[in-house]
Every structure is written in structure tokens, then in C-alpha cells.
Amino acid sequence: MPDLRWSPQPDELQFDAIRASGPGGQNVNKVSNAVHLRFDIRASSLPEAVKTRLLAWADQRITADGVVVIKAQDSRSLERNRADALARLIELVQAAAHVPKARRATKPTFGSQQRRLAGKAKRGAVKAGRRGGADL
């Protein structure tokens, strides 16, 4: 699944307006401009492979119940925070849809082995020089 063109259905998303934290004085205490976006992975329209990869991720935004919770509070506008949360959700799903290419095991080259052994010998000589011999 190299490129997933996916956008969530409106009924799959739950937006909750909350009060933002941080500076702002009286205004921040009375206006709910921050957004909590909740997205249930298991009940979504995502392909099964992407669901499995998302649920397997050790990400603090994904709860044990398989719900993605994203908090957006950078803007003073509720709509901008909603758009930011949605963009971050899509970015998270895109990252989960990307399957890394399997690494092909190779042997170290002869030159790299020689450089490694030369470095080890040099380091051993430095350490051997630290050992004091008998002072005459």
C-alpha cells in the first residue's frame, strides 16, 4: 500500500470543543477553542492492513481501546484547530499505511572488515599504553 488516498467519513469522527491550556488570561478560561478529535480505528472505513498496523503502533495518541485521540490547541480559532486535528489524523494514517521496504541482508565488505579491525587494534594499543609498566 504505497500511497493511501483516504479521507475519513464525517460519522467516523467525534470533535469535542474543550478549553485550551496555556496563556491567554481570562479569555482562555471562558472560551472553548481547543479540539479533541476522537477516531475509532476498528469502526473506521480504513483497509484492514492499515487498521492492524495502526493498532500495533506504540503511540501515546492511540488508546488501549483502539481510539485515536488528537488534541489541537495551537490556534485561537475553533475551525482552524479542527482542521489542524484532521490534518494530523490523516498524516498519522498515511504514516501507518507506508510499509517500509524489507532490508536485504548483505555481508560486510572486505575493506570494511579491515577498517574495523584496524580501528580495534589502534584502540587496543591506546589502552595498552595506559597500562603502566615497571618503573626503573
What is the tens place of the pLDDT at every residue in 14-43?
998 888 887 777 777 788 889 999 999 888
What is the tens place of the pLDDT at every residue in 43-52?
888 888 888 8
What is the tens place of the pLDDT at every residue in 52-108?
888 888 888 888 888 999 999 888 888 999 999 999 999 999 988 888 899 999 999
In DSSP terms, 36 is beta-bridged to: 16, 71
Write down all domains in the chain, each with its CATH number in brackets: 1-130 (3.30.160.20)
Q: In this structure, are residues 76 and 30 in contact, taking their beta carbons and an 8 Å threshold?
A: no
Helices (H), the chain: 25-30, 48-56, 78-97, 110-130
Cα–Cα dist 5/45, whole Å:
12
Cα–Cα dist 75/88, whole Å:
14
